[in-house]
Amino acid sequence: MIIEPVINGVVARTAHPFGCEQSVLRQINYVKHAKSITQGPKRVLIIGGSSGFGLAARVALTFGGSQSDTISVSFERGPSEKGVGTAGYYNNIFFKKYAEEAGRTAINIQGDAFSPQTKEDVIEAIETYFEGEVDLVIYSVAAGIRPDPETGEMLRSAIKPIGQEVTGATITLEDDTWHETTITSATEQEAKDTLKIMGGQDWESWIDTLINVESIAEGCKTIAFSYVGPEVTHPIYLDGTLGRAKIDLHQTSHSLNLKLANFNGGAYATVCKALVTKASVFIPGLSPYLIALYKVMKEQGTHEGCIEQMQRLFSEKLYGVHHVPVDCERLIRMDDWELDPTTQEKVSALVAELNSSNFKQLGDYKGLKQAFMQLNGFGFESVDYTKPVNLDAFAAEIS
């Protein structure tokens, strides 16, 4: 079949296998020529390693100097009668292919990160492939739903402000249109549920589980990804349900840091730059800021994607240094270039100019749309998208 891009709102319904391969290869090529990671971890567990920051971290640690072996957990769909499968499914396959060609161990575990069974599968894999211990645990899960660990009831997250309505613009990727929307305030229950899904509870559960089964190596570190953003995004983000969850994540890093101190290790929440990811496109009101930010930072030569941030994180901040550089709240700030005062002054001025008539001309909407398409394997010049893909033969060939 010929696979074409299908977008509903901000959700990609199709993914191209060979475009996903090109995405993985581009990231591998970047880290091979970037500043090398020194004194890096050798046995890495990534919870949520199939796309975005999780995949970029996996690529950086395997090919960017550390030569790490990895186990990745992700919840992806392969090709079936219902569809062609998700981009993360193909990312996992091609990452494993190239990692093994380089002599590295790359284990993909398909499962829900919130499931006790998945934890058991991971522990078994650590015993089998890592001699029972891990040196680094990366938590990179962006989920909209999870079971309550106490009651089993399904919880759903809500990306909303707290205590106020917020009006802002959202760009629909399906038809490239600008929409003014008003988002109502979250209920207290919505805020609590979002915190349980996107806060630090599950991250801590994973680390506690690994400590209890004695799978934490001497010097083991753990990181989880977060976002804070500038003042212009605070009403919907930092001051909303997502922000409350991220604050909980930051607080969790402190308790985990105390636990890992027993192993001469540490725990850090890592604040990343705003980017187009499968999670960020769902945040109402963020897209105008993103196209302004992309425009300004590309002009300044400071723009970074996921892979550039992860390589810089591991080569300059987490490994090969005497002390991990953190701010007054013990956060690793990978958003330092984004929040540069000069950058933010220019971004804020540009955001104020954007509207439904000019956003494509004034902002970097083309760059945002391209980044989104490439997340799903489309928009690569080296791929012939008119060529039919036999998904059955493809799955059989690479399984």
Confidence (pLDDT) at 395: 66
pLDDT at 393: 65
| Contact status, residue 228 vs residue 246, Cβ threshold 8 Å | yes
User: So what's the pLDDT on residue 398?
Assistant: 47
Q: Is 276 annotated as a binding residue?
A: yes
Q: Is the pTM of this model over 0.85?
A: yes
Alpha-carbon distance 111 to 113, whole Å? 6
Q: Is 25 annotated as a binding residue?
A: no
Predicted pLDDT of residue 396: 54
Closest alpha carbon to 201 in 273, 279, 256, 137: 256
pLDDT digits (tens, 9 = 90+) for 267-315: 999 999 999 887 777 777 789 999 999 999 999 999 999 999 999 999 9
Q: Which residues of the chain have pLDDT under 50?
A: 398-399
Q: What is the pLDDT of residue 88?
A: 94
> What distance in Å separates the CA atoms of residue 349 and residue 209, rounded to the nearest whole number?
48
Q: Residue 293 and residue 275: Cα distance in Å, rounded? A: 9
pLDDT at res. 162: 94
CATH topology of domain 9-143+194-277+305-337: Rossmann fold (3.40.50)
DSSP 180-217: EEEEPPPPHHHHHHHHHHHSSHHHHHHHHHHHHTT-EE
289 is catalytic: no
| 141 known member of a binding site | yes
Tell me: is residue 142 an annotated ligand-binding position.
yes
**Active-site residue among 90, 139, 237, 319?**
237
Task: Give CA separation, 261 vs 8, 100, 124, in Å.
Answer: 46, 33, 25
